[in-house]
């Protein structure tokens, strides 16, 4: 009850701060007319979402660290891991959507006559990514603790790589939009996914982790499905050629690694 009370006390204060800030930005439109309206800085709501998630990530990071150093409680550790995972999921969905909205408003300078649109609308994504890194680091530390009676190393690997791949893909789209590359991010995403699949294969062989190799094959398969059913419809001939060549090369490298290190792979529990 104490932890719940502390968490929501600060949560509501942060939410109230952004609500009041939005109210202070309201300016009248069509003054003196029957259709009198007010307009506010809608970016405030995006910042509200992002900072509430950042606060949650910081809270659960601190709580995990306290549990590691002082409390050493299995139940608290499991609850905190679940809440940390849920918070990461919120950031990778709602948080990245809010960051994308800020970027779009910055590029279009939406209502810039009334409200400032500046570098902070882009830079906030890197601040929030730093807190994602902090939370993942703390979660990794907690998973390794002896007081945690459940082995969650495999689940952490999935969480880590899904988070990294999602952040990398989102950053690619962000950079493409900033440099006015239009729809070319479709090509970049396919190459990114294929490259990450290769990285997972290398890690799976090096660390002797069967689940990483399975995840890599699943990711590469999904990339091929995306290529044939999506990319081929929207990409021009040169882009199609590039993505086919790159993915074909990556597939050859993966095949080479499997053949070269097959003894290591099949000594890994026969998998």
Average pLDDT over residues 205-223: 90
Q: What would the mean pLDDT of 170-181 be, rounded to a whole number?
A: 87
Model confidence over 26-44: pLDDT tens digits? 888 765 444 557 888 999 9
Asked if residue 189 and residue 176 are part of one domain, the reply reads no
Domain boundary among 125, 154, 180: 180
* Percentage with pLDDT > 90 across the chain: 61
Q: Indicate whether 180 pLDDT > 90.
A: no
- How many separate domains does the chain show? 2
148 and 255 assigned to the same domain: no
Are the beta carbons of 192 and 170 closer than 8 angstroms?
no
β-pair partners for 39:
27
Lowest mean pLDDT among 89-93, 136-140, 143-147, 225-229: 225-229
Contact 135, 60 (CB under 8 A): yes
Question: Averaged over 5-29, what is the pLDDT?
Answer: 93
Do residues 232 and 240 touch, judged by C-beta distance below 8 A? Answer: yes
Are 82 and 13 in the same domain? yes
Ramachandran category for residue 111: left, alpha or beta (phi over 0 → left; psi -120 to 50 → alpha): left
Shared domain for 235 and 140, answered yes or no, is: no
188/169 same-domain check: no
Asked if the model's pLDDT at residue 157 lies above 60, the reply is yes
Q: Are residues 164 and 221 in the same domain?
A: no
Q: What's the pLDDT at 268?
A: 55
| pLDDT, tens digit, 9 for 90 and up, residues 56-90 | 999 999 999 999 999 999 999 999 999 999 999 99
C-alpha R_g of the chain: 23
At residue 270, the pLDDT reads: 45
Average pLDDT of the residues in 154-158: 95
> Is 132 in the same domain as 172?
yes
Q: What is the mean pLDDT of residues 122-128?
A: 94
Residues 176 and 107 grouped into a single domain: yes
Mean predicted confidence (pLDDT) in 204-209: 88
Domain range for 232: 184-271
**Euclidean distance between CA atoms 203 and 192, whole angstroms:** 16
Phi, psi angle pair for 37, to nearest 5°: -135, 165
Looking at the fold, whether 91 and 212 belong to one and the same domain comes out as no
Q: Convert the pLDDT of each residue in 81-119 to its tens digit.
A: 999 999 999 999 999 999 999 999 998 888 888 888 888
- What pLDDT shows up at residue 36? 53
The DSSP code for 183 is: G
Inform me whether the pLDDT recorded for 155 exceeds 90: yes
User: Does residue 28 sit in the same domain as residue 88?
Assistant: yes
Percent share of the chain, pLDDT over 70: 93
Question: What pLDDT is recorded for position 171?
Answer: 94
Rounded mean pLDDT of the chain?
Answer: 88
Q: What are phi and psi for residue 234, nearest 5 degrees?
A: -110, -15
pLDDT score of 183: 60
Where residue 241 falls among pLDDT bands split at 50, 70, 90?
confident
Report whether pLDDT(159) > 50.
Answer: yes
Same domain, 88 and 124: yes
The pLDDT, as a whole number, for residue 225 is: 87
For residues 170 and 223, membership in a common domain is answered with no
């Amino acid at each position: 009850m104490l932890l719940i009370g502390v968490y929501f006390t600060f949560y509501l204060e942060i939410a109230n701060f952004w609500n009041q800030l939005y109210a202070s930005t309201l300016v009248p439109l069509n003054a003196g007319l029957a259709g009198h309206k007010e307009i506010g800085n809608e970016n405030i709501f995006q910042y509200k979402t992002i900072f509430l998630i950042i606060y949650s990530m910081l809270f659960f990071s601190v709580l995990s660290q306290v549990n590691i150093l002082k409390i050493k409680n299995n139940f608290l550790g499991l609850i905190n891991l679940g809440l940390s995972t849920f918070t990461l999921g919120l950031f990778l969905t709602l948080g990245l959507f809010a960051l994308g909205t800020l970027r779009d408003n910055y590029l279009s300078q939406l209502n810039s006559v009334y409200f400032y649109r500046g570098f902070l609308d882009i830079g906030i994504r890197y601040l929030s990514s730093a807190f994602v890194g902090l939370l993942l680091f703390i979660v990794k530390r907690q998973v390794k603790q002896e007081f945690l009676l459940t082995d969650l190393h495999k689940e952490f690997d999935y969480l880590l790589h899904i988070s990294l791949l999602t952040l990398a893909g989102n950053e690619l789209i962000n950079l493409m939009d900033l440099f006015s590359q239009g729809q070319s991010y479709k090509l970049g995403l396919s190459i990114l996914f294929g490259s990450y699949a290769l990285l997972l294969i290398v890690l799976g062989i090096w660390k002797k982790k069967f689940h990483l190799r399975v995840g890599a094959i699943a990711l590469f398969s999904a990339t091929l499905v995306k290529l044939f059913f999506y990319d081929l419809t929207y990409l021009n001939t040169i882009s199609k050629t590039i993505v086919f060549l790159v993915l074909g090369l990556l597939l050859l490298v993966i095949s080479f690694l499997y053949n070269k290190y097959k003894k290591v792979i099949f000594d890994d529990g026969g998998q």
